[in-house]
Amino acid sequence: MRFMVRISFISIFLLIIKAGSNISHAQSDYEDSLAIRELCSSFGNPCGTKKREADQIKRFSQKVVREKDQLKLTLESGKQLVLTDADLRSEHRRVYRFITIFPQTGYFLVQINAWEGRAYRMIHGSTGTMIQLDAVPIISPDMKRLVTTSLDLEAGYMPNRIQIYRIEAVGIEQEWQKEFAGSGPSDAEWIDRETISYLENTSPDGGQTLRKWRRILKQGKDGWEETDIKQK
């Protein structure tokens, strides 16, 4: 009797673990994009390593394959989209790293590593339509838009700007952007489907310290406007 009770307890315990694992893989595109941005912004670009790409390819093995210098993505139609690394030893270097497939919208996210700096590419899972982005996109909770912030106050390899895009049925279209001079945006988050919070950063001493202001973008009848400014 004790043996049967013990077996039952173990079975229930394993079911709980399995359920928790399923929940962890079922997070929203918004949560997924925030986690990816945090990883990709860490020192040394850990999200663009060969090891992480290999781990992610194992997770999405039915849709993603790496063959030497080629990254192969399989679309819903069965057609294969091939991204080929190029000019590995020149200033025109371009290396593609598979990052993820967003669970709700089905978009592929690929990192592009250049000689200096990096960019990202969103690829429609059905049509293969691609758009290049400055940074990891943060997808809105209703999955109808995304926002990117690019900050580079020292080297100047990347632009200083914030961009908002609409996610359409067959692709992504830019809706709004703001360029910065002497400052740059970071840490954008969606407060709701019509409101974005982000930080504007300045560096009066050449990058040693940052001064930050919290800014709020609100979508109104005339488009996106900054409605609140608070020093942080």
- Contact in structure between 102 and 91 (CB atoms under 8 Å): no
Phi, psi at 87, each rounded to 5°: 50, 55
| Residue with the two structure tokens 């079975």 | 11
Span 14-35, average pLDDT: 58
- Contact in structure between 189 and 213 (CB atoms under 8 Å): no
Q: Which domain holds residue 116?
A: 28-180
Alpha-carbon gap, residue 54 to 135, rounded angstroms: 21
- The amino acid at residue 135 is A
pLDDT above 90 as % of the chain? 65
How much is the pTM?
Answer: 0.83
Is 201 a domain residue? no
- What lies within 8 Å, CB to CB, of 86 at 6+ separation is 92, 93, 94
Q: What is the pLDDT of residues 87-98, one digit of tens each?
A: 777 777 889 999
Is 196 a domain residue? no
- What lies within 8 Å, CB to CB, of 61 at 6+ separation is none
pLDDT at 17: 34
Show the DSSP H helices in the chain as ranges: 2-25, 29-40, 50-59
Query: Is the pLDDT score of 6 beyond 70?
Result: no
Is 217 a domain residue? no
For residue 33, the SS3 value is helix
Is 23 a domain residue? no
H or E stretch covering 67: strand 64-67
Is 98 a domain residue? yes
Is 97 a domain residue? yes
- At residue 23 the predicted structure's pLDDT band, cuts being 50, 70 and 90, is very low
Is 186 a domain residue? no
Give the highest mean pLDDT range of 42-51, 109-118, 131-140.
131-140
The domain total for the chain is: 1
Alpha-carbon gap, residue 12 to 107, rounded angstroms: 36
Is 215 a domain residue? no
